Amino acid sequence: MKEKFLIKGLGGKKKLKGEISVRGSKNAVLPAMASSLLFKDDVSFSNVPVIEDVFRMIELMEELGGKISRNDNRAFKINTNSIKKFDLESDIAKKMRASIILSGPLLARFGKVSFPYPGGCVIGTRPIDLFLEGFQKMGAKVSEKSDRYHIRAPKEGLKGAEIFFKVQSVTATESFILAGVLAKGKTVLKNCAMEPEVKSIADFLESCGAKIKGAGTPTIEIQGGGLLSAKGKKYKTIPDRLEAGSFLILGAMCADNLLIKDCNPSDLEILIEALRQSGVKIEAGNSTIKISGNSKHKNSSFKALNIKTHEYPGFPTDLQAPMTVFLTQVSGESVIFETIFEGRLNYTEDLVKMGADIVMWDSHRVQVKGPAKLRGREVDGPDIRAGLAFVLAGIVAKGKSVINNAYYIDRGYERIEERLRDIGVDIKRIKD
Ligand code: EPU
């Protein structure tokens, strides 16, 4: 049954207070789960966020024949030795773009894989040319039949290759690290994504014996070898920097005092820098971010900013929508330039209906004039991150908002309403 969120907004008052913990990162745990295909024994996972995308990944891997044994909600083990199918189930793979991360390790271990054109959030065209070209460089043959891609490795297995990514891609970098671990010889990846999630997975694999150099930099070298052994080692999911960043933006707009716990502020430097430049007082510790006495500073005393999304360590495209909500509240004109996905500003139409002064210049750029008084209304969450931005807009607005498609938010954020209620947000989950 469909669910939605009902929010009673604060009308610009800064009333939220308390502590909020950050869960494990969706975009780290999904590729880490895929990496269990490189192991001959069980791989254990902890600090796993309880979110829909993780459930979908479990379903996909079980459907292939993988065995998942749960310890509790946030911890499980995966064993991939009994995998006998190599075709990703269409319904799930079409809905979740991250499913493509399974293609590299499946191909490297079993020599074949097929998948439908992957879907996911509606944030613009999401091509897979880097994957197809990379697999070909490693000796695989690609064909298209019945709306699916079929990839076959040579008989002797994938061979190491030098691959230059013409655009930096997070999941392509991860997929080819995973493929390289089981390929014959050396794989050199250039113009790699440097996101903390990429490094976290490479670090884990290295700790289990994989030979990977340079993760977190543009050039990564992988010396291929046999299956890895986890020998009881655990992948502890790193904190979700995008969730932490969204809470920080919420705190800046709506909280008097807020402590964000269990996060890595060092993964969020650009956001912290931007908010400080705007005038927000932020104390960043090792694993906490604190905002205090913020009700003394009116949102209209904060300054406008120009934001340009960029691959890490630049401003994350996944925080662009929450940041735009913040910029509707501050004084002056801001320009937001979305450089990664061309469909990722469409949600601003709904912010305009809530009272924001936003003009779309083109599919990559909007101008925001603030401060605007937002009014609650009913909106449809179009993707994970814009869905959460609507929740933030509903909280800062005056009156009631209904955010439809709670499922999108549940894909990436664990029971968001319960955690927001703990810091004073008036939010309910209701059935449609
Ligand atoms: N691209 C290509 N060809 C490809 C692959 C990507 O041209 O074969 C382009 C894309 O069109 C885009 C750019 O490369 O312009 C970067 O996209 P990327 O491949 O890095 O995106 P992704 O790996 O599919 C991950 C996250 C996204 C996040 C982006 C950008 C995961 C599972 N997903 O996607 O997260 O927005 O990186 O940082 O890690 C989300 O969590 O809500 C989400 C959408």
**For residue 145, how many other CB atoms are within 10 A of its CB?**
8
Ligand 1 site, residue 408, Cβ cutoff 6 A: no
Centre of ligand 1 from the C-alpha of residue 96, in Å: 12
Q: Tell me the DSSP string of 277-315.
A: HHT---EE-SS-EEE-SGGGS-GGGSBP--EEB-STTSB
Active site residue 192: no
Whether the Cβ atoms of residue 222 and residue 187 lie closer than 8 Å to each other: yes
Centre of ligand 1 from the C-alpha of residue 284, in Å: 28
Helices and strands (H and E) in the chain: how many: 14, 23
* Terminal-to-terminal C-alpha distance of the chain: 7
Ligand 1 site, residue 172, Cβ cutoff 6 A: yes
Comparing CA positions, the residue from 94, 37, 104 lying closest to residue 66 is 37
Report pTM: 0.97
Ligand 1 site, residue 97, Cβ cutoff 6 A: yes
Whether the Cβ atoms of residue 336 and residue 362 lie closer than 8 Å to each other: no
Residue 132 Cα: closest atom of ligand 1: 8
Contacts of 386 by beta carbon, 8 Å cutoff, 6+ apart: 321, 344, 346, 347
Given 3-state DSSP classes, what are the helix, strand and coil percentages for the chain, each rounded to the nearest 5? 35, 30, 35
pLDDT at 328: 98
Q: Which amino acid appears at position 211 of this protein? A: K
Ligand 1 site, residue 149, Cβ cutoff 6 A: no
Among protein residues, the one with the nearest Cα to ligand 1's atom 19 is 169
Say how far apart CA 349 and CA 353 lie, in whole Å.
7
Centre of ligand 1 from the C-alpha of residue 98, in Å: 9
**For residue 132, how many other CB atoms are within 10 A of its CB?**
16
Query: pLDDT of the chain along its 432 residues, tens only?
Result: 799 999 999 999 999 999 999 999 999 999 999 999 999 999 999 999 999 999 999 999 999 999 999 888 899 999 999 999 999 998 888 888 899 999 999 999 999 999 987 654 454 567 899 999 999 999 999 999 888 999 999 999 999 999 999 999 999 999 999 999 999 999 999 999 999 999 999 999 999 999 999 999 999 999 999 999 999 899 999 999 999 999 999 999 999 999 999 999 999 999 999 999 999 999 999 999 999 999 999 999 999 999 999 999 999 999 999 999 999 999 999 999 999 998 899 999 999 999 999 999 999 999 999 999 999 999 998 899 999 999 999 999 999 999 999 999 999 999 999 999 999 999 999 998
Centre of ligand 1 from the C-alpha of residue 384, in Å: 13
3-state SS assignment for residue 98? helix
